[in-house]
Structure 1
Amino acid sequence: MPIWKRNLIVCWFGMFVTGVGMSQIAPVLPLYIKELGIDNAALIAQLSGFAFGITYIVSAIFSPVWGHAADKYGRKPMLLRASLGMAVVIFSMGFAQNVYVLIGLRLLQGIITGYGTACTTLIATQTDNEHAGWALGTLSTANIAGSLLGPMIGGYIGENLGFQNVFFITGALMLIAFVTTALFVKESFIRKDKKTPRIKEIWRSVPDKNLTMTLFMTFFVLTLSLYTVEPIITVYITQLSPDASHIALLAGMAFSASGLANIIAAPRLGRLSDRIGAEKVMLVALVVAGFIFIPQAFVQAPWQLIGLRFILGLAVAGLTPSVNILVKKITPDALTGRVFGLNMSAGYLGVFGGSVLGGQIAAWFGIRYVFFITGALLLINAVWVYFKVYKKLNLSVENAPNQLASYKK
């Protein structure tokens, strides 16, 4: 088996567990905070939002830092640092004596994270252009599926085994990811730049700044759109279902439907990107995803919502791989980790922004408007991608084949 394939398998598992670890706390957080001694409902909601969001905000700040470290010291050391650090921190959350210790550990989790950035950089730099789309598409399923399945997994463990065991089991899985990374990930890293450049120098070295910023913004809008439904999905299911006894299960299925579809479709769409171009797959996926959000506002039963979210997952599966492929193609190898770190920061900000935006839209206008506004955001982003990415890349290939023609290979 080629080294890059073996690394891909190990990274997939690690990123999936990381995604679960980052998101599994969502359904059990209010209940765990109540168990830690907070009885006021309004205060529980406030502390839950703060504890959930702080990890992503801090991750957005530190992701470029760890991306820079990956370029400087190698990707495998960053994988080992992140997986072991998260194993210890998440496991420790099960021993939290009060809510403030829990929040502090969530903040520390945000500082330590960087596994996904290092994995994406490792696979992007080791995989040849012929297989890059498939490899990055497969890798993208791990984080997205972990993030979407995490709430369901956390809710199930919390309900059946206790809230503390959510953290103990996730920490143990991260420890397994650390061991498998140490044993099976192989990297031949040669440090090319001994001098640490400043941020301005790094940005000056990026060949196409406008295209890079467009990709960052697209990834931000993508993650923002995926997470606008996080705060309202359970409430929406409650409105749609007359049977209150299965709300948790139905909400978990609604979350998981997109994750399952993503696992199925992302490798295939990644391979399609290798053949026809990632910018084409990205554009079509944005349009389809934008339109699929709209009918979710008109569903009359939970099964209709679950079905539409499955279709949404099929479309969204083409977006993250396409962004990663294009970032890889336009970024010099020496800057790959730092640029992917910045891209990951955009994603973390999108997660936090989506969670806040969805809750605010639902509070001010009603739950159904969350789907209207999210769909509109994706369609607006599709128009922007058409002019800033699709037309630009195709025009560049026609007029200056030596600059970006390698992307088409």
Structure 2
Amino acid sequence: MKMWKKNLLVCWFSMFVTGIGMSQIAPIMPLYIKHLGISNTSSISQLSGIAFGSTFVISAIFAPIWGSAADKFGRKPMLLRASLGMALVIASMGLASNVYVLIGLRLLQGAITGYGTACTTLIATQTDKEHAGYALGTLSTANIAGSLIGPSIGGLIEELFGVKYVFFITGGLLLIAFITTLLFVKESFVREDRKILTAKEVWSSIPEKSLTIVLSVTFLIITMALYTIEPIVTVYVTQLSKNTSHIALISGLVFSASGLANIIAAPRLGKLSDKIGAHKVMLIALIAAGLIYIPQAFVKNPWQLMILRFLLGLTLGGLNPSVNILVKKITPTSITGRIFGFTTSAGYFGVFAGSVLGGQVAARLGISCVFFVTSALLLLNAVWVYFRLYKKLT
């Protein structure tokens, strides 16, 4: 078996485990903050938002730094650093004495993340051009698959053992990712650029600056579109549902539908990208995603919403891999990690901006308007991609 195939298998497993571990924490964060002595409901909501969102903001700042380190020292050392660091920090959250220690550890977690960026860079630089779409498409499903089942596992652990053990078990899962990476990931790293480049020099060495900007902004918009809906899914399902006794279950199914479709579609659309070009798949997927958001504002019951979210997931399977494929295509190998760091940073900002935008639009204009705004963002981005990227690459 070729090295890139072995590493793809190991990275997929490790990112899957990491996805399970990370997604277990978000649903139980309010419960843990209450456990730490905060009893006021509004304070719990506020502190949960800070504890959750702050990690992504710090991650966005540090992603380019770890991407640069991956280009200097190799991708495997970054995988080991991130997995072991997160294992220790997240396990320590279970020992937090108060909510401010918890928030401090969440900030530290944001500073040491970078496992996904290093995995993507490793696979992108090792995989031959003919199989890049398939490899990156397959890799993109790992974190999504883990995120789908993580909340259920976290809830089960909380029920059986108590809220602290979610953090201990998450740390254990990340330790498994560290050991798996240490033993099975192979990398023959030779640094192509012996000189330590400044940010300005890195920018100067990018041959396709305008395309790099388009791809980074597109990744931000894609992530925003995914997360504008997340804060309001449960509220929207409550409005649509006549049977209020299963709201949590139905909301979970609605949320999971797009992730399941993404897992199905991403490897196949990655293969299609290898045949017809990632820029074509990206443009079609952007337009389709933008259009599918519109009817979600008019559904009459949760099952209609679930079907549309599944269709949306099929289109999203062609977006993230396409961005990564095109970044690989236009970026010199010596700075691939740094550029993936920039696009990952844009994605983290997209998570934060999307969550804030969705909540604000829903509060001021109504939930239906969230779908219209998200659709407009994607369709405008599609127009920009057509003129600035698609026509140039075609």
TM-score over 0.5 for the pair: yes
Structure 1 residues 145 and 353, CA gap change in structure 2 (3 angstroms) = farther
1:205-249 CA-partner distances (Å, limit 9, x unpaired) = 000100000000000000011011121111112222233332211
- 3-state SS, counterpart of residue 347 of structure 1: helix
Amino acid in the other structure paired with 1:188: S
Match of 2:127 in 1: 127
One-letter code aligned to 2:185: V
1:6-405 superposed matches below 5 A: 6-147=6-147, 149-159=149-159, 161-394=161-394
CA distance in 1, matches of 2:153, 2:356: 22
Task: Please tell me whether the aligned partners of residues 241 and 302 of structure 2 are also in contact (alpha carbons under 8 angstroms).
Answer: yes
In structure 2, the CA distance between the partners of 1:107 and 1:345, relative to structure 1 (3 Å rule), is same
The alpha-carbon deviation at position 366 of structure 1 amounts to 1.2
Whether contact under 8 Å (2:55, 2:107) holds in the other structure is: yes
Q: Is the 8 A contact 1:225 1:374 kept in 2?
A: yes
**Displacement after TM superposition at 1:59 (Å):** 0.4
CA separation in 1, counterparts of 2:160 and 2:247? 16
Q: Kindly, what percent of the aligned residue pairs are identical?
A: 72
Conserved? CA contact 2:21–2:173, under 8 Å: no
Measured against aligned partners, the alpha-carbon deviations of 1:283-326 in whole angstroms (never above 9, x if no partner) come to 01011111111111112222221111111111100000100000
**CA distance in 2 between partners of 1:257 and 1:160 (Å):** 27
Q: TM-score, length-normalised on structure 1? A: 0.93
**Structure 1 pair 179–62 and aligned structure 2 pair: CA distance change class (3 A):** same
Asked if the contact 2:241–2:301 (Cα under 8 Å) also holds between the matched residues in 1, the reply is yes
Q: Which deviations, in whole Å up to 9, do the C-alpha atoms of 1:243-284 show, x marking residues without a partner?
A: 333221111111211111111110000000000000000001
Any conservation in 2 of the 1:55–1:110 contact (CA below 8 Å)?
yes
Amino acid at match of 1:278: A
- How many residues of Structure 1 are paired with residues of Structure 2 in the alignment? 394
Partner Cα distance (1:24, 1:260) in 2: 17
Deviation at 1:155, TM superposition (A): 3.9
Secondary structure of 1:318's counterpart equals coil
Q: Which residue identity is paired with 1:87?
A: A
Write the distance in 2 (CA, Å) between the matches of 1:348 and 1:334.
Answer: 24
Distance 1:220 1:105 in 2: 26
CA change 1:240–1:158 in 2 (3 A) is: farther
Deviations 1:34-80 (A, max 9, x none): 12111111111111111110110000011111101100000001001
Q: 2:385 and 2:267 mapped to 1: Cα distance?
A: 22
C-alpha contact (below 8 Å) 1:11/1:139 kept by paired residues:
yes
CA contact (8 A) 2:22 2:170 kept: no
Do 1:269 and 1:281's aligned partners in 2 also have CA atoms closer than 8 Å? yes
Report how far residue 154 of structure 1 moved.
Answer: 3.2
- Structure 1 alignment gaps of length 5 or more: 395-409
Task: Call closer, same or farther: CA 1:15–1:110 in 2, change over 3 Å.
Answer: same
- Which moves more between the two structures, 376-385 or 31-40? 31-40
Distance 1:255 1:237, change over 3 A: same
Structure-2 separation of matches of 1:34 and 1:358:
26
Q: How far apart, CA to CA, are the structure 2 residues paired with 1:214 and 1:222?
A: 12
Residues in 1 aligned to 2:69 and 2:327: alpha-carbon distance in whole angstroms = 18
* 312-321 or 12-21: bigger deviation: 12-21
C-alpha distance in 2 between matches for 1:375 and 1:14: 33
For the residue of structure 1 that corresponds to 2:25, the secondary structure is coil
Partner residue in 2 for 1:402: none
Equivalent position SS for 1:25: helix
Contact 1:17-1:170 within 8 A present in 2 as well: no
Normalising by structure 2, we get a TM-score of 0.97
Return the offset for 1:18: 2.8
> Cα gap change, 1:308/1:155 in structure 2, threshold over 3 Å: closer, same or farther?
farther
Give the aligned residue type for 1:325. I
- Any gaps of 5 or more consecutive residues in structure 2? none
CA distance in 2 between partners of 1:6 and 1:333 (Å): 20
Alpha-carbon distance in structure 2 between the residues aligned to 1:294 and 1:155:
33
> What is the alpha-carbon root mean square deviation over aligned residues?
1.4
What do the CA deviations read for 1:153-205 (whole angstroms, capped 9, x no partner)?
Answer: 43444345432232222221111111110111000001222321100000000
Contact 2:18 2:177 in 1 (8 A): no
CA deviation profile, 1:128-170 (whole Å, cap 9, x unmatched): 0000000000011123343455444434443454322322222
Distance 2:186 2:249 in 1: 40
- Greater shift in the superposed pair: 242-251 or 175-184: 242-251
Letter in 2 for 1:109: Q
Measured after TM superposition, the shift of residue 381 of structure 1 is: 0.7
